[in-house]
Structure formats: C-alpha cells, structure tokens
Structure 1
Amino acid sequence: MTVFTLGEASLRALSGVRIARPDAGLRPVRRGALHRTGAPVRRDSIEAGTFEAMFFAVPAKGECDHLLRVARQALDAGRRFARIERSGERALTAAEALLTRLTASAVRVYEEVCTLARLNRGRVCPSYDRLAEVTGLGRATIARALAALEAVGFLVRQRRFTRVAGAGAGPRYAQTSNAYRPMLPRAILGLLPRWMRPAPVPCDAAQRIDAQAAELAAMKASLTRRELAQVTVGGALGRVLAKLGAALDAKERESHSDPQPLLMSIEQGQADVGLDGRQRPA
C-alpha cells in the first residue's frame, strides 16, 4: 500500500480538475498561428491588376442610361409584385421575387455605378466609403444595395486584393476595393415593356455567331494544355496553369513515344503459347 503525504494527495486530486478562466465565456480562446500573410483576404478574391482587362467593358453610347432606365422600371415592377404578394393574390415567380429585393437606395447606388462606367470607360472600382460619400447612404445600406443588385443581375462584382510591403518573410496582402460591371439581367427581360427589351438578333447574324462559336471550339480543341491556359486565362493564374499544362503535355508525349503494352495483347499472347512453351498455330 502506497502512502502519500497530504500535499501529494492534494496535488493528485487537483491534477484532473480544469479551472475555468473568468473570461472564458466572454471570448473564445485563440488557437493556432497567425495568418501567414499578415492580413486576412476574403474568399474568391483576385489580385488587382491581373484580370481587369478581361473583366471591364467599355459601354456603348447610351448604354448606361438605358441600364438605369431598366433599373427604375424594375424597381416599380418590384413594388407592384410586393403588393401582390402581401395581398395573397397569387404566388410570385423566381424572377418576380428577385425584383422585390430592389429598393430606392439600390437604384441610387446603381446610378452612381453607371455614371462611373460612362465616365471611366467601364472601369468601376469605387470603395464603400466613396459610394457612401457620393450617395449620402450608410455603409450598411451600400452593402445591402450591392447585394440586391448582384442578386437580380444588374451588377457583377469581383473582390480584389493587393500586395503590400511588410516585415518578415513571404508576401503580404490587403483587401482593396471591388471591381464592378453593370449588366442587363436576362432573367427579368420578360417582365419589362417591349420597347425596353433588346432587339432580337437577325437569323443571318445568329448563324454567323454559331459558326464563329464552332470555329472557336475547334481551335481550342486543337491547342495543347499549355496553349489553352495561355489563351483562356491571364495573369499569375494563367502562368501557373500554363506550367502545369506544359508538364502534362510532356508526360503525354513520353507515354506516346514509349507506349506500354495493353493488357489484352498480353493475355492474347499468353493464350497463343501452349503448355510446352511452343507457339500454337493460328
């Protein structure tokens, strides 16, 4: 029988008891190392300066004004659909339910986006603070308005980040303003008046577009993986994909130059040889 002193017995009894901290329920305990970049970057962000040439588009003459008129008509239609839904007259379709999310604040923000697109040849990348200053709305209202415009289809938004100088090894990044592109939502074209919808494409133009799409698909099918990555993707991601494609192309060329025998041919060869090791006649 082992004999313990009073001090040893107390230590053994308290060794398995966890003592809660006074602030344990107020804030979670942080575990793990710090973020290696030094600053958090939101998901689906792309480095600024690597995709803008393919993202932005110069609007045609009068296009921004037309988009703004469509947004105002969509706001009025959304208010009518909201009254129909509240009265219980009928159930709304998916497109009609989307229009009910539009507000006057969203249209005001969209007006500023269209103005910037017209003045800056399609390059729209204002910050939330800039939009709040120009429109007189709060940051939370700006965020809700942009989310509503993106959900309906009036806006395409892309998050961006930039590289910043910092102490320590490794690159460091910081979130910057988003990139925006005003669009005409296809889902609500049937709900707009006929004079506000785009004119239908002529039959000969549609056939020409289909022929060009077929030629483009055939051209892409004839490219190697490296060339396809260089054509379709730009920036740092394109360079990485091009290196990966070059490695896959080299591996495929090696397999063509030194092909392995097929399993069926091996089995056929074994079947043609008898038990005595002699070749069977065909």
Structure 2
Amino acid sequence: MAVTSIANASFMVLERAVQQRARARSGAPNPTRAKVHPNSRVAGSFEDDFFYSYAKGETDRIVKNADELLEQKNAVRRLARAEGRELTEAERLVTLITPAAVRVLKKLATLARTCAGKVFPTWKWIEEKTGLARATVGRALAILATMGILDKQRRCVPIEPTAERPKAKYEQTSNVYRMRFPNRLVQFLPMRMRPVPLPEDVVQREADRVEDIAAMRLWRSPRQAVTEDIEDAGLRRVLLSLAAAMEKKESQKNGQPLLDSYSLYADGVGLVGQRFDA
C-alpha cells in the first residue's frame, strides 16, 4: 500500500510538471514557418464543450453589468484615494474597463444571442462592426479576458505542407469566445442589479458536492487522471502507456489468492453454501 501511494504521488508530480511547463521563446527562427500561437487547439475538437448555452436575456445582462462597471470605475478609484489605500485586486480589475472594451463586448454578445452561443468572429469582422483599429480591438479583448468577463481559446487547423513551408502542419484560424460575469465583480453593481442570494442550504449542498468530487478525484488511477486531465493527444498517449505499465507492476506485488473463494468441500456456488458460517 505504501509503495502504491508513492508511485501514484510520483506520477501526479510528473503530470503537474508537464502541465505547468512554460513555453519560452528562444529567439531562434521558426523551422516550420507556421503562424500558430502557443496553447492553440485543433478546430472541431473541443467547441462542443467550450461554448455556453445562454439563458434568455443573459447576454444583455452581461453587457448592462459591463456598462455599469464603466460608470463606477472612477468612483472606485476616488474611494480608494480618499481612504488612503491601495486598490484591491477586484477594484483594480474594475478600473481596467474601457469604452472600447464595452463596444467589443456588445458585438460579441449580439453574436452569442443570434448564433446560439457559438461565437468565433475574426478580428477583421470585429474591426468592421465596431469601427475600432486592430490594436484597439486586441487591447479590448485582452482587458475583457483579464477581468474574467471573456474566455478566449485560440484555434488552429491542419494544413498540407507546401514548398515554402515543408514542415508546417497547422495554421491559425479564428478564436472562439464565451462570456460570463465573474462573482468578484458583482459587489460593484447597484443592489437592483445584483442577483438574489441563494438559500444557505443550497449553498451548503453545492459546497458538499464540490468536496465530494474533490475526494473522488484523489482516488483516481493514473490512467484515469491522464485521460481526464491531459488534452494533448501525443502527450496523453505517452503518459497512458507509462500509467498502464505502473499499474501492471503494482498489481503483481500483492497478488495473494482468496483461499475461501474456491473452497470445494461443500456444495454451492461462491461462499454461500460452501461454509456453514457463510
């Protein structure tokens, strides 16, 4: 049992190190000449789990909340200055919002409302619809992502290598977006715009559910952990083979047979009918 625990712990440390490994730019030329950003995912492999199914009026509420934050940002800054203190993390996020960011959010919300939550416009489309410059659109998207209002995922598509790019396998395509309003920003909204708090029993039941799920995840086998947590197909295949070898090795260490399960001195199947005290 102790050996198994050490093996599982070692595998989890290896998995965490692979997930958190930073991709640093070395400054060397790109041998594939492929314009693919880091952390891009293959288009068509994740969108069904990424996109939200918005409730009626939810996108409009997100935009109204963002408008209210834009009006409150200066008041938040003045209050912190009057009290002689630094801005908190939530207050700093509120002060980041700009009119351009709200304008971009409105166009994305319109797409989400009319396209059943599937939002994947190009930067050129956003520029044309908002009338903003490309650099302003990039800053607006970055601000919304930092505030937690916008989730963005870069995508790439497989391509055939060409003479100019003989090693290129993927090419960048449009990003996908989804919107939400984070709870840490709700405190800056007027009372009339804040959601009704949940009953305490509902909150406690949800906390118990999260705790139970976390406890169940601790007992996952290495192969289950790899299958659920590793997204890269190549890395998942390598770690799955490693996990299978580890599980096979550990299963052979304590393979003692259950002697009572094949006792033949009495009639019957299994333990019932084989022993008088079964």
| TM-score (norm. length: structure 2) | 0.70
Letter in 2 for 1:38: R
Letter in 2 for 1:249: A
Larger radius of gyration: 1
TM-superposed CA distance for 1:123, in Å, is 1.6
The residue that corresponds to 1:180 in the other structure is: 177
CA distance in 1, matches of 2:137, 2:210: 39
- The farther-off stretch of 95-104 and 142-151 is 95-104
The residue that corresponds to 1:241 in the other structure is: 236
Q: Does 1:144 align with 2:143?
A: no
2:49 to 50, 54, 59: 54
Q: How does 1:63-74 map to 2 (within 5 A)?
A: 63-74=58-69
The residue that corresponds to 1:154 in the other structure is: 149
Letter in 2 for 1:92: L
Cα distance change, pair 164–143 in 1 and its aligned pair in 2 (3 A) = same
Unaligned runs of 5+ in 2: 1-25, 255-278
TM-superposed CA distance for 1:111, in Å, is 0.5
Unaligned runs of 5+ in 1: 1-30, 260-282
Cα distance change, pair 250–117 in 1 and its aligned pair in 2 (3 A) = same
2:202 to 186, 189, 205: 205
Q: Does 1:193 align with 2:152?
A: no
CA distance in 1, matches of 2:213, 2:233: 19
Question: Does the CA-based 8 Å contact 1:230-1:242 persist in structure 2?
Answer: no
2:90 to 92, 95, 98: 95
1:97-145 deviation per Cα after TM superposition (whole angstroms, max 9, x unaligned) = 3222212111110101111111222221111100001111111111111
CA distance in 1, matches of 2:85, 2:207: 40
Paired positions, count: 227
Q: How does 1:57-136 map to 2 (within 5 A)?
A: 57-82=52-77, 91-136=86-131
TM-superposed CA distance for 1:170, in Å, is 4.7
| TM-score (norm. length: structure 1) | 0.69
CA distance in 2, matches of 1:36, 1:182: 36
Letter in 2 for 1:152: M
Q: Percent identity?
A: 36
TM-superposed CA distance for 1:238, in Å, is 5.2
Question: Does the CA-based 8 Å contact 2:40-2:154 persist in structure 1?
Answer: yes
CA distance in 2, matches of 1:69, 1:47: 33
Question: Does the CA-based 8 Å contact 1:226-1:242 persist in structure 2?
Answer: no
